[in-house]
């Protein structure tokens, strides 16, 4: 399949991740004018001034998390819901938060349609994480912060992994993998990326 071939050619080689991305149709997550381009490896605009990441970046970020079937995962930045849907195939429980209520409602509807019952989507300021459900085995941030946010680092279990784009919003950012250990945190720089900025506070919504 062309879609999977494109993913492999960009470095997505984990068999479990490829299988999850084959199962989850990207089509329903893209509405309107750009729906015809759902199967191209490119980011596309969605509502509330946000974007859906290109599939190869979704695959690489998911792969970098080194997920196990028992993990509890926090995603900061629900967006279209596509990344959370992929995560749902690979792990026990996914909590996903977004500052835009409209995006959360639309993603929740798709999750229901796809019968993805292990995802909880909430409207919240993701820069503060989700203290009520912490600690998490894995955290994925789909918006760029200047530094890995302290509240999110604090909500990571010992041995846990966070994948987050770091850098100024108007420049190319670096995708960072943070691993928490007994002594503190280890940082690995994975690749250059470009994401919308992580913004504090809730969005002004039409929903």
Active site residues: 53
Nearest to 31 by CA among 126, 147, 113: 113
Element (H, E) at 174: strand 173-181
Task: Give the single-character DSSP code of 155.
Answer: T
Residue labelled with tokens 């503190």:
184
DSSP class of residue 53 equals P
* Contacts of 86 by beta carbon, 8 Å cutoff, 6+ apart: 17, 20, 21, 24, 58, 59, 62
Query: How would you class 71 by CB atoms within 10 Å of its CB: exposed for 0-12, middle for 13-18, buried for 19 or more?
Result: buried
d(CA 149, CA 185): 13
């Amino acid at each position: 399949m062309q879609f999977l071939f494109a993913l492999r050619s960009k470095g997505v080689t984990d068999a479990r991740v490829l299988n999850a991305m084959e199962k989850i149709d990207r089509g329903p997550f893209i509405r309107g004018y750009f729906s015809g381009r759902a199967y191209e490896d490119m980011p596309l605009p969605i509502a509330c001034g946000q974007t859906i990441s290109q599939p190869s970046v979704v695959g690489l970020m998911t792969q970098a998390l080194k997920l196990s079937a028992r993990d509890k995962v926090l995603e900061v930045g629900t967006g279209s819901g596509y990344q959370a849907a992929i995560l749902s195939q690979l792990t026990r429980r996914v909590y996903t938060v977004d500052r835009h209520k409209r995006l959360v409602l639309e993603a929740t509807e798709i999750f229901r349609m796809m019968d993805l019952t292990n995802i909880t989507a909430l409207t919240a300021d993701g820069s503060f994480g989700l203290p009520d459900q912490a600690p998490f085995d894995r955290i994925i941030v789909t918006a760029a912060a200047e530094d890995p946010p302290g509240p999110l680092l604090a909500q990571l279990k010992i041995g846990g992994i966070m994948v987050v784009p770091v850098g100024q919003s108007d420049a190319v950012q670096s995708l960072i993998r943070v691993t928490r250990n007994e002594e503190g945190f280890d940082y690995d720089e994975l690749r250059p990326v470009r994401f919308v900025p992580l913004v504090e506070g809730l969005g002004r919504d039409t929903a």
